Homo-oligomer: A and B are copies of this chain.
C-alpha cells in the first residue's frame, strides 16, 4: 500500500479536517462532527434543503457538490461505507429551513437503508423529507430492472439540476420531480483496469491481469459485464456506448450532455482520447452535444479507469444544467443556452 497517509484509521477524519480547513469560507461541520458537513451560508437560505451522503473515497463525490447552486449538506461515511443515519439526521436538521429536505444519494443497499432510517428519524422531528436514490449504471442491472442499478458518476447531473431548481425557490415536490427527471435521463457505463487499496484494508480490492480490463465494473470494484484483454481506447469506447446508448435509448435528434469521468489514476489526457471517440460516435448517430464535462467527478481512490455518462436534455433540464454553481470542488459559470 503506497499512500500518503498517517494512521489508516484516521484517514477519513483527517481528510475531512483538511477539507474544512481549506474551504472554511464555504463549508462547515455541524454537531461537532467532521463527518457532518453543510454549506457555511445555510441560515440565510430559506430554500428547500438538499442533502446527500455516501462513503469516502470518491471525491469530489459526495461532499464536493455541497455549495451554491447544488447541495446544502452531506454526511460522510468511512471509505466505501454508508454514513450512519444519525449523521444524516444531524445534517438534515442543520439544513432544513422549514421547506423540507430532499435526500439524493447513490442506490446502494447500505445507503438506502440508512437514508430510510434517517427519514423516519427526521419525521419524528417534524422535518419533511423525501428521497431520490440515483442509479444509472447500465452495467449493474439489465433494462427493465432499473431500480436495482447502482448510482455512479451520473448522479452529478441529478445534483446539478435539482440543486439549480431548489436555488430558484421551487418547493420540495418540484425539486424531487427534477431529481427524478434528471436521474431518468442519464445513463453511465464504466471500465476499470486497476484495483484500489482501501487504507484500512491495506491490500488491493480485486486482482486484474496486467493486460486486462473489466467493462462495467462498479466504483467499489463490483463485478462488471465482461473481463478481457485491454482494447484500444476507440474499441473500449465503442463497446461502452454500444451498451449505453440503446438503453434509454438516445437517438438521432437528441441533444445530450456528456461526462467522461476519471476514476482516479487515469490521466485527463486519456479521458480526452476517449472523448474524441465518443464525439465521433454521437455525431454519426445524429446526437448533438451541448456541454461536455471531462475530469474527475466520481472517483474510486486511485483506481485506473473511467466512465461515460450521457444525459438527455430537454429545455427544462438544459436550463437547469446551464445555471451557475459554486462549490469548493466544482465551479461553473452560467452557460449560454
Contacts and interface: CB of A to CB of B under 8 A. Distances in A.
A272 B18 contact: yes
B264 A22 contact: no
Interface stretch (A56-64, A93-101, A158-166): A56-64
Contact of A4 (B270, B294, B296): B270
A6, A57, A276: residue with the most chain B Cβ atoms closer than 10 Å: A276
B3 A270 contact: yes
A107 interface: no
Interface in A215-256: 230, 232-234, 236
A292 interface: yes
Given A22-B292, A268-B60, A326-B333, A4 B273 contact: yes
A2, A16, A59, A279: residue with the most chain B Cβ atoms closer than 10 Å: A2
Interface stretch (A127-135, A136-144, A148-156, A301-309): A301-309
Secondary structure type dominating chain A contacts: mixed
Contacts of A201: none
30 contacts: A2-B211, A4-B274, A5-B270, A5-B273, A6-B233, A6-B234, A11-B273, A15-B269, A15-B273, A16-B272, A18-B271, A18-B273, A18-B274, A18-B275, A21-B275, A22-B294, A23-B292, A56-B269, A59-B268, A60-B268, A264-B265, A264-B267, A265-B304, A267-B302, A268-B296, A268-B299, A295-B329, A296-B296, A302-B304, A333-B333
Given A14-B272, A268-B299, 14 more contacts: A2-B193, A5-B232, A6-B232, A15-B272, A17-B276, A18-B272, A21-B275, A21-B276, A22-B292, A23-B292, A25-B336, A57-B267, A59-B272, A264-B265
